[in-house]
Structure 1
Amino acid sequence: MPASKRRLARVAPRAYSPAAVSTPATAAVPAPSRGFSASDLAIVGVVIVWGTNYTVVKEAMETLPPLAFMSLRFTLAALAMGALLLAVEGWKPLPRPVFLKLMGLGLVGNTLYQLCFILGLANTSVANSGMLTAVTPVLVATLGAVLGVERLTRPLVMGLALGVAGMLMVLGGRGASQHGASLLGDGLILGASLCWALYTVGIRSMGPEVSALRITAICMLTGAPGVVLAGVPELLRLEPAHLTAGAWAGVVYSALVPLVLAYFIWGRTVQKVGSSRAGLYNTGIPVVAALTAWGVRGERPSWMQVLGAGLVLSGVLLSRRR
């Protein structure tokens, strides 16, 4: 055989080597883009919605008990999300393993998260709960690296450190009070942070074979019953005649915008930019909450809060470097 043909014989098989073809696991988790994209802009919108929602919920819960408020908003949100899924994609059966995984994510990211957060907040101070949730992006990045969903790079680690430090400065600038704090409440808030981290990494691991809308809808529909049932006792004691129009508006808004719309956008963008980078944007939520409180309630931010906001933004920019 001529030398040229022998070279072709040796080279040709490599083009069809199994190692050169993407495996299902690799195709399920595409590498996220590092540049600032429309997905990043969408996450910024979600952060704004979730940050301003603190003020909306605070106003509504002046007349609505916490668990009753949570139960009402999740009932409305689950119905709206189910209707949206049927209208856009229709009902398509999923493989049993995929459905069970989504059901597990729904229980963790909706039922357990909401219960831990509400009950934790009831048993500890607001300052404590806010500072403890600062560990969420760290948990997201760590879990993603441990489970093989994300790669922990040096810029990402440095960005996470800056983001968490800035978030703590924003919260600490409001004056950390230990009044009403307890180990039980602090433990529940940490549990809520862990639940959200697991939910975020779980969404990322699903890959593109299931749409973001279907993921969000099934997770919410499977997680909502536990949340709704937990608020039934308070709902039975509720007197609707004593509720203001503002409280009902708060229920409708917090159900349809932060839960339905923002959850859908979050699920879709996490699949595109990665759970670690998306989790880092969570550090901007208390910044938005502080600015909203300044504009609506006249709570002027301190120099520490302004500096903290700068650190958060610096962390986001740093995390996108290669």
Structure 2
Amino acid sequence: MHSRMTPSTAILLTIPPLLWAGNAVVGRIVHTWVPPMTLNFLRWAIALVILLPFASFIFRRGSGLWTSWRRFGLLGLLGVGLYNSLQYLALQSSTPINVTLVAASMPVWMLLIGALFFHTRVTGKEIVGAILSIAGVLLVLSRGDWHQLLAMRLVAGDIFMILATISWSFYSWLLTQPKDPKEIRGNWAAFLLVQVIYGLMWSGVFVAGEWALGDAKIFWSWPLVAALLFVAVGPAVIAYRCWGTGVQRAGPGIASFFSNLTPLFAAVMSSAFLGELPHLYHVIAFGLIVGGIVISSKR
């Protein structure tokens, strides 16, 4: 049973989109410096080192790492292994505006997957909330000009991002299934670490394929090191910690509307980097997205 939306839960669910917007920007910046599967593997390897001091007890015999290997193997595949690998792969061939536009379909996928696979009922409020929220995202991505949306075409990267969004929807729903051993469910670091361990196994397979089948190269530099540290600490450890707790409190259906704040934050970051002032459509879009969150989360 999910609790009513509270200010603390809203904050928990707002932090990840902010960090994920930074992740999309950084992922695009470094896409010629490091291959996408390798970027994802390095990111989570650093996160593993960060988490180890907080939850090394999970390696004990009989812990949930071993007893619940099917569940955490699946969570690791969907959340750590697939989602970000596909997102970084999408950024190789697609523009950030297309990638964020495709990711804006998250509430729709959440509602569909919840109804089809997790036996949840879709309410009229959630449908209205989804429409409002996506309208806000489209307004930002079109920069107030609908002709820009009509001119866009899907490329391979957009297909990868659709698959990533579906993967994340399944991941978020599985988070709500109360099947975790007590010592792991009550410890955020342990809960994330077991996912990272299995996720790195999957990611390692993807990296092996990337280097065996392609012409993979890494161009090391201090900016790349700084980028790796950022995506490991912020969008990985901190964002997943906040998202996991927020989803368990509010439910994945409502949480998915907060993910639509990501392209809004990305637009604001772009404005800041380019020295542009926010426009009226930013304000209207913010109102639509927040309106979608409020309507869908009302009990």
Could you state the TM-score of these two structures normalised by the residue count of structure 1? 0.78
Shift of 1:259: 0.3
| Alpha-carbon distance in 2 for matches of 1:260, 1:228 | 19
Say which is worse superposed, 285-294 or 121-130, in terms of deviation.
121-130
What corresponds to 1:18 in structure 2?
A: none
| Alpha-carbon distance in 2 for matches of 1:95, 1:79 | 17
Aligned residues: 287
- The amino acid of 1:259's aligned partner reads A
Unaligned runs of 5+ in 2: none
Say which is worse superposed, 247-256 or 42-51, in terms of deviation.
42-51
Shift of 1:281: 0.5
| Alpha-carbon distance in 2 for matches of 1:38, 1:311 | 21
Which of 185, 199, 219 is equivalent to 1:223?
199
| Alpha-carbon distance in 1 for matches of 2:109, 2:126 | 13
Indicate the SS of the match to 2:64.
Answer: coil
Q: 1:239 to 1:155 in 2, by over 3 A?
A: closer
- The amino acid of 2:281's aligned partner reads M
Contact 2:27 2:91 in 1 (8 A): no
| Alpha-carbon distance in 2 for matches of 1:218, 1:95 | 6
Q: 1:238 to 1:225 in 2, by over 3 A?
A: same
| Alpha-carbon distance in 2 for matches of 1:257, 1:196 | 18
Shift of 1:198: 0.4
Matched ranges for 1:256-295 at <5 A? 256-295=233-272
Which of 117, 128, 152 is equivalent to 1:147?
117
- The amino acid of 1:238's aligned partner reads I
Say which is worse superposed, 130-139 or 147-156, in terms of deviation.
147-156
Could you state the TM-score of these two structures normalised by the residue count of structure 2? 0.83
Unaligned runs of 5+ in 1: 1-30
What corresponds to 1:20 in structure 2?
A: none
Which of 9, 23, 36 is equivalent to 2:6?
36
Say which is worse superposed, 280-289 or 94-103, in terms of deviation.
94-103
Which of 211, 218, 235 is equivalent to 1:238?
218
- The amino acid of 1:265's aligned partner reads C
Which of 277, 280, 286 is equivalent to 1:309?
286
Matched ranges for 1:165-180 at <5 A? 165-173=135-143, 175-176=148-149
Shift of 1:204: 1.2
Indicate the SS of the match to 1:205.
Answer: coil
What corresponds to 1:25 in structure 2?
A: none
| Alpha-carbon distance in 2 for matches of 1:129, 1:308 | 18
- The amino acid of 1:226's aligned partner reads W
Shift of 1:49: 1.9
Which of 70, 74, 79 is equivalent to 1:100?
70
Deviations 1:261-300 (A, max 9, x none): 2112211221111111111100111111111111123244
Q: 1:98 to 1:150 in 2, by over 3 A?
A: farther
RMSD across aligned positions (CA): 2.9
- The amino acid of 1:223's aligned partner reads G
- The amino acid of 2:197's aligned partner reads L
Shift of 1:163: 0.9
Contact 1:127 1:171 in 2 (8 A): yes
Deviations 1:218-248 (A, max 9, x none): 22211123324534638973343xx1x2321
What corresponds to 1:205 in structure 2?
A: 177
Percent of matched pairs sharing the same residue: 22
Contact 1:133 1:189 in 2 (8 A): yes
| Alpha-carbon distance in 1 for matches of 2:32, 2:150 | 21
What corresponds to 1:159 in structure 2?
A: 129
Contact 1:103 1:223 in 2 (8 A): yes
| Alpha-carbon distance in 1 for matches of 2:198, 2:22 | 27
Shift of 1:133: 1.2
Say which is worse superposed, 258-267 or 213-222, in terms of deviation.
213-222
| Alpha-carbon distance in 2 for matches of 1:154, 1:279 | 16
Which of 192, 196, 202 is equivalent to 2:168?
196
Matched ranges for 1:19-98 at <5 A? 31-61=1-31, 63-86=33-56, 91=60, 93-94=63-64, 98=68
| Alpha-carbon distance in 2 for matches of 1:84, 1:150 | 35
| Alpha-carbon distance in 1 for matches of 2:116, 2:153 | 35
| Alpha-carbon distance in 2 for matches of 1:228, 1:148 | 30
Shift of 1:95: 8.5
Shift of 1:103: 0.8
Q: 1:221 to 1:235 in 2, by over 3 A?
A: farther
**Structure with max Cα Rg:** 1
Say which is worse superposed, 300-309 or 288-297, in terms of deviation.
300-309
| Alpha-carbon distance in 1 for matches of 2:194, 2:272 | 36
Deviations 1:95-124 (A, max 9, x none): 867330121121122212223222233233
Q: 1:286 to 1:217 in 2, by over 3 A?
A: same
| Alpha-carbon distance in 1 for matches of 2:230, 2:49 | 14
